[in-house]
Amino acid sequence: MPGMDDGRPAAPTRGRMLLRGCLKRCPVCGQGHLFRRWFHRIDRCPRCGLRFERIEGHWTGDLGLNTIVSFSALFLTLIVGFALTYPDIPAVLLFLLAVGVALVVPVVFFPFSKTIWLAIDLMMRPLDPDEVRPAYRRSAEALGRRVT
């Protein structure tokens, strides 16, 4: 299997980790099905054993990411709405559209923010080998050696 020379998986690249996060997969091993329901993620990856809440307060990063994406979507909605309808701006319609975006985007993006933030966190604070199962320790050691 590509990326495996001694039976252990190779470390994923930063781009691969981010792509896996965007697909709601574990950034380390690519395992899917990390959520029981839309708002309930499992505690650890079933394949590599990575604990998703790596440190206390880890959730603040994904909350911040969700907030940034949600406000960006709202801002873009308002800018495009104003640009397309100027000078006769339909204020009520634009307001209702903005409220819809403000209510829907954070809910839809919620699970993605969790896995994307985990990937970003792994890029900033590489894995310790003890954070994953023995078969994935090579990945952890390789990720720990990467320096930006």
Cis link prior to 87 (omega < 30° from 0)? yes
The residue extents of the domains of the chain are 14-145
The residue assigned the tokens 């699970």 is 111
Spacing of C-alpha 143 from chain mean position: 18
- Global pTM? 0.85
Q: What is the pLDDT along the chain (148 residues), one digit of tens a residue?
A: 445 455 567 788 999 999 999 999 999 999 999 999 999 999 999 999 999 999 899 899 999 999 999 999 999 999 999 999 999 999 999 999 999 999 999 999 999 999 999 999 999 998 888 888 888 877 677 666 554 4
The residue assigned the tokens 């997969």 is 25
Q: Is residue 137 within 8 Å of residue 29, measured between CB atoms?
A: no
Paired strand residues for 40: 37
